Chain A
Amino acid sequence: MDLKELIVEKVKEKFGSALEEVTDFRDDLSLTIKKDQIVALGKFLKEDPDLEFIMCRDITAIDWATRKKRFTAVYHVYSFKLNYTLRLKANIDDDPPTIQTVTSVWRSADWYERETFDMYGIKFINHPDLRRMYMPEGFEYHPLRKDFPVLGIPGSLPLPKRAE
């Protein structure tokens, strides 16, 4: 059986209608799942003996700006056993955006989720240490959101005083 078919079949069997969409664009398989199932899906993909997606390579997000479900969390996971990278997506519709953390599945998700929180303001529920990654503490905005101006918001980042 084809590798992608195997993955899709297994996930479909386990999650049924929670699997919203399966796309295969340019040989990249991506699965869109309901956001409350993301931890369960991660755990399944990691622990299933035929799949073993034990490595979380990247977590990021997309800001669609005008869509009703404004944010999409994106996960890239890798299986050494299959030598295959799989993309997982979860659409987030609440405001402020929240999603369960996957740190209980992949420990490496810790800093990726912090980065995503810093840049998009997505709150990862139950994250062990959800602080900002790049921007200074106390900064109020999330720079990679579409409504954030490229040059920033004047006065939002303090500079040290210039001595005369």
Chain B
Amino acid sequence: MGLEAKLQQDGFITTTIDAVVAWARKSSVWPMPMGISCCAIEMIAAADPKYDIARFGSEVMRFTPRQCDLMIVAGTVTYKMAQVVRRIYDQMPEPKWVIAMGACTSSGGMYRSYSVVQGIDQFLPVDVYTAGCPPRPENLLNALMTIQEKIGKTKARDFQNRTLADLELAQN
């Protein structure tokens, strides 16, 4: 069973580059923990031994955007903070994904008010929305698995038609 059995049989396997790259990417999604308010506590809980985000290869919470490919926006995003969130997102290298964790990030939540952005999809391309206030760690893990599914389906050509301008934006 598994890789060892395969290697004993033939000594080689055939696959496509796309499949290998997608598999590698989805098995090591490094999150940028954008913990802005109480959702961050549940995000931290998802990293603890009980829920153990390491099971999905995402335990490497990097506090520098340069090393991340998944931004978990966990918490209420105010208009003032939106500028910061966007700047950090722009600093992450392509390809990158975004989880909008919790009601506030997804829709403004209970903060129907002048200071809170009513959904971060107004300025970020969101891949997965997570319901809950705050979502339980299982829910975040489910969002992560959905992201993994999405990454697993990516092919190299998905990123080929990016213009140079986009990539430069990503590096600034």
A-B contact count (CB 8 A): 43
> How far does the Cβ of A42 sit from chain B's closest Cβ, in whole Å?
31
| Contact present for B113 and A159 (CB under 8 Å) | no
Interface string of A104-145 (1 = CB under 8 A from B): 000000000000000000000000000000111000000100
- Whether the pair B122, A162 counts as a contact (CB closer than 8 A) is yes
Residues of B within 8 A of A151 (CB): 112-114
- Indicate whether A162 sits within 8 Å of B79 (C-beta atoms), given known contacts A143-B114, A152-B115: no
The interface residues of chain A lying within 8 Å CB-to-CB of B166 are: 163
- Report the Cα distance A153→B114, complex, angstroms: 7
- Is the CB of B141 closer than 8 A to any CB of chain A? no
State the main secondary structure of chain A at its contact with B. Answer: loop
- Whether A163 lies near B169 (C-beta < 8 A) is yes
Q: Is A157 touching B169 in the complex (CB atoms < 8 A)?
A: no
* Cβ A160 vs Cβ B114 within 8 A: no
Interface size in chain A (residues, C-beta < 8 A): 17
**Considering only CB atoms, which chain B residue lies closest to A157 in the complex?**
B79
Supposing A160-B83, A162-B124 touch, asked if A134 and B117 sit within 8 A by C-beta, the answer is no
Q: Are B80 and A135 in contact (CB under 8 A)?
A: yes
Cβ of B83: which chain A residues have Cβ within 8 Å of it?
136, 160
Q: Chain A residues in contact with chain B, CB under 8 A?
A: 134-136, 143, 148-153, 157-163
B: residues with CB less than 8 A from A are 79-80, 82-83, 86-87, 112-115, 117, 122-125, 166, 169
